[in-house]
Amino acid sequence: MTLRRPWAHRIAVGTVSAAALVALAVPAEAATPATATSTSTSTAAAEDVDYGTWQQDCQAVMNQALPYLKQRIAGTKPGEKQAIVFDIDNTTLETDFGFSYPQPANRPVLEVAKYAQEHGVSLFFVTARPGIIASVTDYNLKHVGYQVSGLYVRNFLDLFKNVAEYKTAQRVAIENKGYTIIANVGNSATDLSGGHAEKTYKLPDYDGQLS
Ligand SMILES: [Mg+2]
């Protein structure tokens, strides 16, 4: 794994991506999602981490997750409502590779998600994305094939909280709705710390370079 760009570049790209997403939120709030057009504002992020390597690394993790999930789902207890919690950026969507809207699904993760949703598991998405882009995010996830049982974005007060604490609190809220979280999938340590999931699956973030 060779990372060809320095930190400063990554931070700049992240800022562009976040700003572009917020900009996209405005027309999507005003119009139906079907009118959204594909835009490409930056492809620089893809230069940081080789796309093929990233996909291979994600596939390797999902190759661990799928056999477990098949077994766990087959053993669903009577009355048990199973759920999987997913991070969004660089987990369920290809956020940092050839930025566009709608963002493509991260294929290895989508394949596992599809198996789960086709077998009665509810999918919940917990993201540090701000609430202003909730509708474009919801549309994006559904557009690429995810069945969204719940999408948790950060509201104004949540923006001041530690990300790991915020994400853990959302998993507690999901459990309080009666779900058993059989797996939590994310690419940052802050997606997965704090418990409230039977298993965690960590996708690569390359030392924090992928959000
Ligand atoms: Mg992420």
pLDDT digits (tens, 9 = 90+) for 58-68: 999 999 999 99
Strands 39-42 and 99-101: antiparallel
Chain mean pLDDT for the chain: 83
Distance 182 CA to ligand 1 centre (A): 19
Residue 1 domain-assigned (yes or no):
no
Distance 205 CA to ligand 1 centre (A): 8
| More reliable by pLDDT, 56 or 26 | 56
Q: How confident is the model at residue 38 (pLDDT cuts 50, 70, 90)?
A: very low
Rg, the chain, Cα only: 17
pLDDT of residue 97: 85
Residue 101 domain-assigned (yes or no):
yes
pLDDT of residue 47: 55
pLDDT digits (tens, 9 = 90+) for 73-108: 999 999 999 999 999 999 999 998 867 889 999 999
Residue 146 pLDDT greater than 70, yes or no: yes
Residue 100 domain-assigned (yes or no):
yes
Residues 93, 113 contacting (CB under 8 angstroms): no
Distance 162 CA to ligand 1 centre (A): 15
Distance 191 CA to ligand 1 centre (A): 7
Q: How confident is the model at residue 31 (pLDDT cuts 50, 70, 90)?
A: very low
Helical spans, DSSP H, in the chain: 7-30, 51-74, 107-118, 134-143, 163-176, 189-192
- The boundaries of the domain holding residue 125 are 7-202
Distance 208 CA to ligand 1 centre (A): 9
Distance 202 CA to ligand 1 centre (A): 10
Backbone angles phi, psi at 6, to 5 degrees: -75, 170
CATH number of the domain encompassing residue 140: 3.40.50.1000
pLDDT of residue 5: 37
Residue 17 pLDDT greater than 90, yes or no: no
Return the half-sphere exposure (C-beta side, CA atoms, 13 A cut-off) of residue 211: 21
Distance 177 CA to ligand 1 centre (A): 24
Distance 78 CA to ligand 1 centre (A): 33
Residue 124 pLDDT greater than 60, yes or no: yes
Distance 63 CA to ligand 1 centre (A): 19
Location of structure tokens 């094939």: 145
Distance 188 CA to ligand 1 centre (A): 6
Residue 193 domain-assigned (yes or no):
yes
Residue 3 pLDDT greater than 70, yes or no: no
Residues 139, 151 contacting (CB under 8 angstroms): no
Residue 152 domain-assigned (yes or no):
yes
pLDDT of residue 13: 40
Distance 127 CA to ligand 1 centre (A): 8
Distance 84 CA to ligand 1 centre (A): 15
Q: Is the pTM of this model over 0.75?
A: yes
Residue 210 domain-assigned (yes or no):
no
Token pair of 172 as six digits: 């507690």
Residue 146 domain-assigned (yes or no):
yes
Distance 152 CA to ligand 1 centre (A): 14
> What gap in Å lies between CA 112 and CA 119, rounded to an integer?
11
Q: How many domains does the chain have?
A: 1
> What gap in Å lies between CA 189 and CA 91, rounded to an integer?
12
Distance 77 CA to ligand 1 centre (A): 31
Location of structure tokens 């104004």: 156
Query: Under DSSP, is residue 6 helix (H, G, I), strand (E, B) or coil?
Result: coil
